A and B are shown apart, each in its own frame.
Chain A
Amino acid sequence: MADEVILLDFWLSMYGMRVKIALAEKGIEYDYKQEDLSNKSPLLLEANPIHKKIPVLIHNGKPVCESLIIVQYIDEVWNDKSPLLPSDPYQRAHARFWADFVDKKVSVVSRKLWTTKGEELEAGKNEFFETFKILEGELGDKPYFGGETFGFVDLSLVTFYSWFHAYEVFGNINIEAECPKIIAWAKRCLQKETVAKSLADQKKVYEALGQLRKIRGYE
């Protein structure tokens, strides 16, 4: 019996993009269902009753929630090709630590760039660059966070790149000037087809966030 794989997602979400990359890396065929977050489907509410959030992967009827948990699940089930995590336990722990760092820090500091103004925005910019400088330090001279090949940490961070143009315009910052290695790394990742086709278009992200800013009164 063939596998049935469904992804519940919203095109803007960098978390959903992580799952798309993982599915593409493994060559998995799936049904993509775009959610209207202002009117969540019964399927989403049933699949993720606790958080009611996307992304959710439904594999043969069983839901998996939380993007990095989904990615690890994909890696463990479809373990015959393109490993996303290293096989050595210490390197795995290292990868999990940095992916956790991305989740705990990058999402928080990035949010301030498009939702705040004045002093709060200035503080947000400092935190943003502090965070990315730490990431640059971790990247070092490696082509990817995973070393020679694209891996778990790369996947967890690169999806934020699709929001960089919006961050730069709304936050009035130049990310390449401050963190050139990060931009070089992101462009390297984008040379992979699995990444390029999974990331949302930067201009469309910028337009969508622009509208959200108006509606929510952030500007």
Chain B
Amino acid sequence: MGEEVVLFGTRGSPYTCRIEIALKLKGVQYKYIDEDLANKSPSLLKYNPVHKKVPVLVHNGKPVLESLVILEYIDETWQGYPILPEDPYERATARFWAKFIDEKCFPAIFKSCWGEEKEREKAVEEVSVVLKILEDELKEKKFFGGENVGLVDIVAVVIGFSLGVYEEAARVELLNKEKLPRLCNWIDDFLSNSFIKESLPPRDKLIAYLRNRFRSGNASK
């Protein structure tokens, strides 16, 4: 019996994107189903009744939910490219930074571009603090994972790709090249990776979508 792998996602979502990167790194064939979040499919609601969110990975009919959980599942299920390191301490460190990016970085990045006006200034400051923390964590490594892209790099698509797109779409400057040289180099290396490039949504389309969704006439979220 062949393997069936289906990914429910939305183009433009960094959470969906990180799953595509992981599947491509592992060389897994999969079917992609794009969800309209304003009109969720019965399949999505069946597979994720608790959160009703994307991404959802369905492997031979069984759903796996929450992007960080899906990434670990992919790593444990398919051999080949290692997403997490083998050493338990390095794994704990990778998980820590993945969580940090999800809980501290992305919300601040989003708020600084698309939040309520009174929240934006504070969010911009927060972004500056968290990006500096990541800059320091990168140290002399090429990627957060070391020589190669790993869990943290995949999760950091929100910085490698989304950040630049949001900056342009919202006309906000968040990435200071003088203060964050390592992070800027990392972004270049990140975007040069062929598996990552293949997984990214078209930039211009995403910018247009974001401007339309969040900025047209003070649209509410």
CB atoms of A97 and B92 under 8 A apart: no
CA distance A93 to B50 in the complex (A): 15
CB atoms of B95 and A69 under 8 A apart: yes
Q: How many A-B residue pairs have CB under 8 A?
A: 54
**Minimal Cβ-Cβ distance residue in B for A89:** B76
Return chain B residues, CB-CB under 8 Å to A62.
Answer: 89
Return chain A residues, CB-CB under 8 Å to B100.
Answer: 50
CB atoms of B96 and A96 under 8 A apart: no
Residue of B62, B64, B91 with most chain A CB atoms under a 10 A cut-off? B64
Interface residues of B in 143-181 (CB under 8 A from A): none
CA distance A160 to B18 in the complex (A): 32
Interface residue from B50, B88, B91, B99 paired with A134 (Cβ < 8 Å): B50
Number of residues in B with C-beta < 8 Å to the partner? Answer: 22
**Minimal Cβ-Cβ distance residue in A for B78:** A89
- Contact string against A for B residues 70-108, beta-carbon threshold 8 Å, 1 for contact and 0 otherwise: 101100110000000000110110011001100000000
CB atoms of B88 and A96 under 8 A apart: no
| Interface size class, chain A | 20 to 34
Return chain B residues, CB-CB under 8 Å to A76.
Answer: 88, 91
**Minimal Cβ-Cβ distance residue in B for A64:** B92
Return chain B residues, CB-CB under 8 Å to A89.
Answer: 73, 76-77
Say if the beta carbon of B66 comes within 8 Å of chain A: yes
CA distance A101 to B77 in the complex (A): 22
Say if the beta carbon of B208 comes within 8 Å of chain A: no
Q: Give the shortest distance, in Å, between A100 (CB) and chain B (any CB).
A: 6
Say if the beta carbon of B196 comes within 8 Å of chain A: no
CB atoms of B91 and A97 under 8 A apart: no
- Contact string against B for A residues 54-70, beta-carbon threshold 8 Å, 1 for contact and 0 otherwise: 00000100101110011
Known interface pairs A90-B62, A97-B69; A65-B96 also in contact (CB < 8 Å): yes
Interface residues of A in 125-178 (CB under 8 A from B): 134
Q: Give the shortest distance, in Å, between A135 (CB) and chain B (any CB).
A: 10
CB atoms of B73 and A70 under 8 A apart: no
Interface residue from A64, A72, A100 paired with B66 (Cβ < 8 Å): A100
CB atoms of B88 and A50 under 8 A apart: no
Say if the beta carbon of A40 comes within 8 Å of chain B: no
Say if the beta carbon of B127 comes within 8 Å of chain A: no
Q: List the 9 closest A-B pairs by CB distance, nearest first.
A: A89-B76, A76-B88, A93-B73, A73-B92, A96-B69, A93-B64, A69-B95, A64-B92, A89-B77
Query: B residues within 8 Å of A by Cβ?
Result: 50, 59, 62, 64-66, 68-70, 72-73, 76-77, 88-89, 91-92, 95-96, 99-100, 133
Known: A66-B96, A97-B66; 17 extra A-B contacts, CB below 8 A, are A50-B100, A62-B89, A64-B89, A64-B96, A66-B99, A69-B96, A70-B92, A72-B91, A72-B92, A73-B88, A73-B92, A76-B88, A89-B77, A90-B62, A97-B64, A97-B65, A97-B69
What are 30 inter-chain pairs, A to B, with CB distance below 8 A? A50-B100, A64-B89, A64-B96, A66-B99, A69-B92, A72-B95, A73-B92, A76-B88, A89-B76, A90-B59, A90-B62, A90-B64, A90-B73, A92-B72, A92-B73, A93-B64, A93-B69, A93-B70, A96-B66, A96-B69, A96-B72, A97-B64, A97-B65, A97-B66, A97-B69, A100-B66, A100-B68, A100-B69, A101-B50, A134-B50
